[in-house]
A and B are shown apart, each in its own frame.
Chain A
Amino acid sequence: MSHDDAHGGHGDHDHLPFLAHHFDDPEQQFDSGKLGMWLFLVTEVLFFSGMFCAYALYRSLHPEVWTFASQFLNATLGAFNTGVLLFSSLSMAWGVRCAQLRQRTGLVISLAITLGCASMFLGVKAIEYTHKWELGLLPAGAYESQFLPGAHHAGLSSWLYVLSAVPALCVIGFGIWYGLAMVKKDKQTSEIAGPLLVTALCYFLGVFIGVAFESAEAGEHGGDHSVAAHATDDHSGDAHEDDGHTTDGGDDHDAATDEGHSDSGDHSSDEPDGEHSEDQASHGAPPGKLVSTEGDGPVVPGAPREAEIDQAGGAGLFFSIYYCMTGVHAIHILGGMVVLTWLLVRATKDHFNEEYFGPVDYVGLYWHLVDLIWIYLFPLLYLIT
């Protein structure tokens, strides 16, 4: 978007190198870019509106399922991520200010902070996603969870390693690049490589924070299971894990519920976690697995019976919409990171000044919108009570 008017032609405006040839003056160029960006944001809002409609429709049809399924989401992590994004919006706004005042270093630092926050957000999100994938909390067609809210799996998910491969490669690559730049004393390159290295590292910071929060909650619920024990388990659905589930629920509910939990817990122990991905592909809906839980007492007083809610048609649809909305939002974060990196490169070249700061401004608008969408997603998905 904002690329297009940004590095415009250098034709007949020699005195103003940033002014594209088809604009009369910088004001016209800036106004055009700004209007274009706002229109683009309108299309973004409408793009998300389809999913918000789906959300509203299915939540109004099955409110009880949404109340139940929402409890699987870790509100602490969600709140943390909200804070991270809000802070990144602050640093972005600060960056716009720096660009307007031609404070080159300040702009580079602000962009680096924004990028780092974005990356940390994704790190936390990776923990949230892989945690749910381990538990089988998948889109409706692949949904197979028999767990109750607060369930934990042992150790780190193998999916997390998959997701972390790219950031890990980035850490190595940017690290080498930064090292080379430092050796060559190439200040400008190191100003690009440094923030990018920090960005990649922030992903892992996010992952660690995510693990810490998850483990803390697991410790709260699971009592005797220490964080260390979880971390060293090789997550193959063993007895420890099942005990964990049993006690999780047991803390909150009565003895009758407890039985129900161990029942469902046993179920998951039948299959090692490694087979999860196979299962997703092989059987679409697993209603057969519900047989053992039918006839058990109510799980949460006042809430529907487990047999009614714990199936693909209910909670699965919630998670479908959860993955669609947060997934599309995460793609927007990634897109934003690409554009921020482009800004970072231009900032190190000192392209922005009092007269020409449009691109920083437009990307800032985009970034605030991405932030804003999350601010709607967070309560709508995490805080249903």
Chain B
Amino acid sequence: MSATATSANYSQPDSDNFLINSKGFLSWALTLDHKRIGLMYLIGVMSAFFVAGILALVIRAELMTPGKMFLTNQQYNQVFTLHGAIMVFLFIIPSVPAALGNFLVPIMLGAKDVAFPRLNLGSFYLWVTGAIFFLSAMLWTGLDTGWTFYTPYSTTTSGPVVAATMGVFILGFSSIFTGLNFIVTINTMRPPGMSWFKMPLFLWATYATSIIQVLATPVLGITVLLLAAERVLKIGIFDPQFNGDPVTYQHFFWFYSHPAVYIMILPGMGIISELMSVHSHKSIFGYRFIAYSSIAIALFGFLVWGHHMFTSGMANVTTIIFSALTFTVSIPSAIKVFNWLATMYKGTVQLNTPMCYSLSFIFLFTIGGLTGLWLGALSTDRPLHDTYFVVAHFHYVMVGGTLVGFLGGVFHWWPKMTGKMFSEFWGKISCLLIFIGFNATFLPQFVLGSRGMPRRYARYVEEFQELHQWSTYGAFLLGFGLFVALGVVIHSLMRGRKAPPNPWGGATLEWQCTSPPPYYNFLNPPAVNDPYDYLPLEYRDEERGWEYVRPEAPSVPTSEPEPAKS
């Protein structure tokens, strides 16, 4: 086979490596490089995840016994509020789009950077500012409204609601600007030859996510602004005393926060689409269906917010319509799951760590999705509303889906981001521990919820103790598994062997530059190929990685012409 390696992008000098091409604190703090911003986001969101994860363990420990362990009711309220608020606003929403998305979107496009690098850095600092507001709210007196800030409690409680809502407002703008940046980048900076349907599916998912971020988040912005005005100026919009209506707040809030659920899960689905195909070494099944289903989920997501409010006092007709619309979301979600399964069929599945995570994702996300049907159906939602069934359902989607997908993505692109390989064995162990721990935590909660255990209570009747204890043991196992995963990546940073440019055999563009990439990504715009065509990839034993071997293209000279001898 007459073939030549695309040497142009492999031969970048190691000193151009984006991690070390400039040094000093300011070269990171003021960087406009999307890869560095992505890494800073990664550290930031993982720190937030650590804090909120510890809070989760505190909650589970408190629930070991029906009575008081070590938290008063008030303290329990504060702990679960901060757990939820930090997880949602500081971790899950920015996790995949801001951390992995920032790193990957321009490289997958073969571009040098996102469209607005300064805005990108600005988004990061907005995120930091919002995080500071949240931490100050925590250290101040403790917020106890729940992450939803429902009125009228949030307008009357003495907690630091204004500081926290301002944090949400600022984080919202961080999210909006990230989404705006990605939409513009994907629209205007695709390389020649990359049509919409030659984009990697991760970009489709990011694009759909960005649409939601741009369209839904401003509504959250005005909602929390009105909530702050309600507290400071008593504008009465949410206050029945002045003819306002507290349920209006719920409508406004869920108009954002339901689409926000898809901000959380869609990028995870994008990761899984990549992982499934790469680690099965088989072209993705139903490319267009997966791409369209991302957009469909984004659009349907705007029409179903009312299913959070079935018991809040809506008209019967309205609840029926919202319930029916809710079921439509399951169609594109199911399309994705079936396509992933079909991708593995007759593929060369390699159970690498990222693949283990994506298999966990499919299993857990499917449970999370299917239990959503019980909650979307009016008759079963009435008894299940505000019980542990709901808690288990959204943790299956948010943790079992997004978090596991995120971890899979981090392991998948870790060699690309840091240039180091990690221990496969311990990576798989971490996945196993997380999988078992997670199910032990949340499967009992489905049972608890269906038996009537309400959420957000610090005390419960004794019959529930056994299931609660199972859940608590599971939570600690889950926490341990996450620490093992942390240990794996830290060990990789210290001792990991140097990563080849393409350790998994991926065909998307990011695998065509060195690991880690140089600060300019590509010297020349890379030639665009089918992102899921694995035929031209060949395994090289000496570097333990794959190499893209391009059939010689006669029209493009691959080497400098010999200088004419005179």
Q: Once the chains bind, are B184 and A50 in contact (CB under 8 Å)? A: no
Given A54-B248, A141-B242 in contact, is the A4-B237 Cβ separation under 8 Å? no
Q: Once the chains bind, are A43 and B180 in contact (CB under 8 Å)? A: yes
Given A4-B118, A320-B237 in contact, is the A50-B187 Cβ separation under 8 Å? no
Q: Once the chains bind, are B242 and A22 in contact (CB under 8 Å)? A: no
Q: Which of A22, A48, A141, A314 contacts B234 (CB 8 A)?
A: A141
Q: Once the chains bind, are A50 and B223 in contact (CB under 8 Å)? A: yes
Q: Which of B116, B215, B217, B248 contacts A4 (CB 8 A)?
A: B116
Please, which residue of chain B has its CB at the minimum distance from the CB of A142? B234
- Number of residues in A with C-beta < 8 Å to the partner? 47
- Return chain B residues, CB-CB under 8 Å to A48: 222
Given A22-B112, A43-B180, A142-B234 in contact, is the A324-B226 Cβ separation under 8 Å? yes
- Return chain B residues, CB-CB under 8 Å to A54: 226, 237, 248
A-B contacts, 15 listed (Cβ < 8 Å): A21-B113, A23-B189, A35-B187, A36-B119, A39-B180, A39-B183, A43-B215, A48-B222, A51-B222, A57-B248, A140-B242, A141-B235, A316-B242, A317-B235, A317-B237
- Return chain A residues, CB-CB under 8 Å to B245: 57
Q: Once the chains bind, are B218 and A44 in contact (CB under 8 Å)? A: yes
B176-211 to A contact mask, C-beta < 8 Å, 1/0: 100011011101110000000000000000000000
Given A47-B222, A51-B222 in contact, is the A36-B116 Cβ separation under 8 Å? yes
Please, which residue of chain A has its CB at the minimum distance from the CB of B115? A32
Q: Once the chains bind, are A139 and B241 in contact (CB under 8 Å)? A: no
Answer whether residue A63 sits at the interface, using C-beta atoms and an 8 A cutoff. Answer: no
Q: Once the chains bind, are B219 and A5 in contact (CB under 8 Å)? A: no
Q: Once the chains bind, are B113 and A22 in contact (CB under 8 Å)? A: yes
Chain B positions 333-371 with a Cβ under 8 Å from a chain A Cβ: none
Please, which residue of chain B has its CB at the minimum distance from the CB of A3? B118
Shortest beta-carbon distance from B469 to chain A in Å: 44
Q: Which of A23, A35, A43, A140 contacts B218 (CB 8 A)?
A: A43
10 tightest Cβ-Cβ pairs between the two chains A and B: A141-B234, A140-B236, A50-B222, A320-B235, A140-B242, A4-B116, A22-B113, A22-B112, A47-B218, A46-B218
Chain A positions 17-51 with a Cβ under 8 Å from a chain B Cβ: 20-23, 28, 31-32, 35-36, 39-40, 42-44, 46-51
Main secondary structure of the interface of B (DSSP, over half): helix
Q: Which of B221, B223, B242 contacts A317 (CB 8 A)?
A: B242
Q: Once the chains bind, are B221 and A47 in contact (CB under 8 Å)? A: yes
- Return chain B residues, CB-CB under 8 Å to A51: 222, 226
Please, which residue of chain B has its CB at the minimum distance from the CB of A39? B180
Q: Once the chains bind, are B252 and A142 in contact (CB under 8 Å)? A: no
Q: Once the chains bind, are B184 and A35 in contact (CB under 8 Å)? A: yes
Given A36-B184, A141-B234 in contact, is the A46-B219 Cβ separation under 8 Å? yes
Q: Once the chains bind, are A50 and B180 in contact (CB under 8 Å)? A: no
Q: Once the chains bind, are A141 and B184 in contact (CB under 8 Å)? A: no
Complex alpha-carbon distance, A312 and B241, angstroms: 9
Shortest beta-carbon distance from B228 to chain A in Å: 11
B237-263 to A contact mask, C-beta < 8 Å, 1/0: 101011111001000100000000000
Please, which residue of chain B has its CB at the minimum distance from the CB of A1? B119
- Return chain B residues, CB-CB under 8 Å to A62: 243
B214-232 to A contact mask, C-beta < 8 Å, 1/0: 1111110111011001000
A288-314 to B contact mask, C-beta < 8 Å, 1/0: 000000000000000000000000111
Chain A positions 43-76 with a Cβ under 8 Å from a chain B Cβ: 43-44, 46-51, 53-54, 57-58, 61-62
Q: How many A-B contacts at CB < 8 Å in the complex? A: 141
Please, which residue of chain B has its CB at the minimum distance from the CB of A47? B218
Shortest beta-carbon distance from B191 to chain A in Å: 9
Q: Once the chains bind, are B236 and A139 in contact (CB under 8 Å)? A: yes
Complex alpha-carbon distance, A321 and B219, angstroms: 16
Q: Could you tell me which A residues sit within 8 Å of B by CB distance?
A: 1, 3-5, 9, 20-23, 28, 31-32, 35-36, 39-40, 42-44, 46-51, 53-54, 57-58, 61-62, 139-142, 284-285, 312-314, 316-317, 320-321, 323-324, 328
Q: Once the chains bind, are B234 and A140 in contact (CB under 8 Å)? A: yes
Chain B positions 105-120 with a Cβ under 8 Å from a chain A Cβ: 111-119
- Number of residues in B with C-beta < 8 Å to the partner? 45
Given A50-B222, A53-B252 in contact, is the A312-B236 Cβ separation under 8 Å? yes
- Return chain B residues, CB-CB under 8 Å to A323: 233, 235
- Return chain A residues, CB-CB under 8 Å to B243: 58, 61-62, 140, 313-314, 317
- The winner among A36, A316, A328 for most chain B CB atoms within 10 A is A36
Q: Once the chains bind, are B236 and A35 in contact (CB under 8 Å)? A: no
Please, which residue of chain B has its CB at the minimum distance from the CB of A7? B118
- Return chain A residues, CB-CB under 8 Å to B242: 140-141, 285, 312-313, 316-317, 320
Chain B positions 159-185 with a Cβ under 8 Å from a chain A Cβ: 176, 180-181, 183-185
Given A35-B183, A51-B222, A54-B226 in contact, is the A42-B214 Cβ separation under 8 Å? yes
- Return chain A residues, CB-CB under 8 Å to B113: 21-22
Complex alpha-carbon distance, A139 and B238, angstroms: 13
- Return chain B residues, CB-CB under 8 Å to A50: 218-219, 222-223, 226, 252
Q: Once the chains bind, are B236 and A317 in contact (CB under 8 Å)? A: yes
Complex alpha-carbon distance, A57 and B251, angstroms: 12
Shortest beta-carbon distance from A43 to chain B in Å: 4
- Return chain B residues, CB-CB under 8 Å to A57: 245, 248
Complex alpha-carbon distance, A48 and B176, angstroms: 15
Please, which residue of chain B has its CB at the minimum distance from the CB of A43? B218
Q: Once the chains bind, are B244 and A140 in contact (CB under 8 Å)? A: yes
- Return chain B residues, CB-CB under 8 Å to A43: 176, 180, 214-215, 217-218
Q: Once the chains bind, are A142 and B218 in contact (CB under 8 Å)? A: no
- Return chain B residues, CB-CB under 8 Å to A31: 188
Shortest beta-carbon distance from A285 to chain B in Å: 7
Q: Once the chains bind, are B239 and A140 in contact (CB under 8 Å)? A: yes
Q: Once the chains bind, are B116 and A5 in contact (CB under 8 Å)? A: yes
Q: Which of B112, B115, B187 contacts A5 (CB 8 A)?
A: B115
Complex alpha-carbon distance, A285 and B242, angstroms: 8
Complex alpha-carbon distance, A58 and B236, angstroms: 11
Q: Once the chains bind, are B226 and A285 in contact (CB under 8 Å)? A: no
Complex alpha-carbon distance, A140 and B234, angstroms: 6
Please, which residue of chain A has its CB at the minimum distance from the CB of B244? A317
- Return chain A residues, CB-CB under 8 Å to B215: 42-43, 46
Shortest beta-carbon distance from A42 to chain B in Å: 6
Q: Once the chains bind, are B189 and A32 in contact (CB under 8 Å)? A: yes
Q: Which of B219, B221, B235, B248 contacts A324 (CB 8 A)?
A: B235
Q: Once the chains bind, are A32 and B188 in contact (CB under 8 Å)? A: yes
Complex alpha-carbon distance, A19 and B180, angstroms: 20
Shortest beta-carbon distance from B471 to chain A in Å: 38
Complex alpha-carbon distance, A48 and B218, angstroms: 8
- Return chain A residues, CB-CB under 8 Å to B219: 46-47, 49-50
Shortest beta-carbon distance from B89 to chain A in Å: 18
Complex alpha-carbon distance, A31 and B116, angstroms: 12
Complex alpha-carbon distance, A316 and B226, angstroms: 15
Complex alpha-carbon distance, A57 and B243, angstroms: 11
6 A-B pairs besides A139-B234, A139-B235, A140-B235 with CB distance below 8 A are: A23-B189, A42-B214, A57-B245, A62-B243, A317-B243, A324-B229
